[in-house]
């Protein structure tokens, strides 16, 4: 089975409060984009007794820590019989970028295993289960533009229309640890009404929709602020950092030639649908 887990961008992000469980309540809009990893898995039908699920990697493999795909397998094993599988993950989505690549890998695998092995889990059950794997995972179960609240597990689909706009994504190679990014943010303790602001024309977003992480991370990494400024100079109708960084994106009305100063970085473009 070959899967193509896609990235997301955040349009606006506010930290409301720190929760007793150590997570934070947030408000954000998540929007799926076409940049994808490639995840392949096969059932190891000829495995010897005691064989375990395994995974190999290629591409952008500069990440570290526990593998989220193996975490999916371990979560399912507590509920169902899951035979050993061999996986290979080609990483195209940059890590430490706020694009949700790891969460998308996990959610895509969970969705597929549910179908392949006929577990019979509904979307709601998959969202609940995936929330124990990663905070962004529930979004990728249905993978539709959504207003996201609580710790990332409360989703409301919204009619954000970006069809025909061009997206330019810039990743400058700075990996930002999500936990450390949250430690620098002062919660606002109130809703920012993002679910209403997102319905304003895209050209108005730069005046009313903000990513709260930009304030602290732009001080720490001035290059990020410079890239955002450059995106506006290039004609973006809206530019922002995604998630807790460090990728930045611009939304344009037409296709834009990448300036020489941005070519050393990872860049990605697509027409949004």
Q: Do 178 and 100 belong to one domain?
A: no
Show the DSSP H helices in 33-100 as ranges.
Answer: 68-77
Catalytic member of 25, 37, 105, 136: 136
Q: Do 173 and 247 belong to one domain?
A: yes
Q: Do 151 and 185 belong to one domain?
A: no
Which residues have CB under 8 Å from 127's CB, separation 6+?
A: 138, 141, 142, 153, 155
Domain encompassing residue 227: 166-271
136 has catalytic annotation: yes
37 has catalytic annotation: no
Q: Do 178 and 106 belong to one domain?
A: no
* Span 210-252, pLDDT tens digits: 999 999 999 999 999 999 999 999 999 999 999 998 999 999 9
Show the DSSP H helices in the chain as ranges.
Answer: 68-77, 101-116, 123-130, 137-142, 178-183, 194-197, 205-208, 213-220, 222-233
- The listed range with the strongest mean pLDDT (39-53, 70-84, 249-263) is 249-263
- In this prediction the pTM is 0.93
Tally of domains within the chain: 2
Q: Is the separation of the CB atoms in 224 and 240 below 8 Å?
A: no
């Amino acid at each position: 089975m070959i899967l193509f887990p896609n990235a997301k961008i955040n349009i606006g992000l506010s930290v409301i409060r720190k929760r007793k469980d150590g997570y934070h309540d947030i408000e954000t809009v998540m929007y799926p984009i076409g940049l994808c990893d490639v995840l392949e898995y096969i059932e190891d039908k000829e495995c010897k007794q005691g064989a375990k699920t395994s995974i190999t990697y290629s591409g952008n493999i500069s990440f570290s820590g526990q593998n989220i795909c193996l975490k999916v397998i371990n979560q399912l094993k507590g509920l169902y019989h899951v035979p050993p599988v061999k996986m290979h993950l080609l990483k195209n989505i940059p890590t430490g970028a706020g694009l949700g690549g790891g969460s998308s890998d996990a959610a895509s695998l969970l969705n597929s295993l549910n179908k392949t092995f006929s577990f019979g889990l509904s979307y709601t059950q998959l969202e609940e289960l995936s929330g124990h794997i990663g905070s962004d995972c529930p979004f990728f179960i249905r993978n539709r533009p959504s207003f996201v609240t609580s710790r990332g597990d409360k989703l409301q689909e919204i009619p954000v229309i970006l069809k025909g706009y061009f997206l330019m994504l810039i990743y400058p190679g700075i990996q930002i640890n999500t936990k450390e990014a949250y430690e620098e943010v002062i919660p606002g303790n109130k809703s920012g009404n993002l679910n209403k602001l997102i319905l304003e024309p895209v050209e108005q977003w730069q005046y009313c929709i903000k990513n709260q992480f930009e304030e602290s991370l732009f001080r720490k990494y001035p290059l990020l602020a410079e890239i955002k400024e450059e995106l506006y100079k290039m004609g973006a109708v809206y530019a922002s950092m995604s998630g807790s960084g460090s990728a930045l994106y611009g939304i344009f009305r037409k296709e834009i030639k990448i300036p020489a100063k941005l070519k050393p970085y990872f860049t990605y473009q697509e027409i949004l649908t």
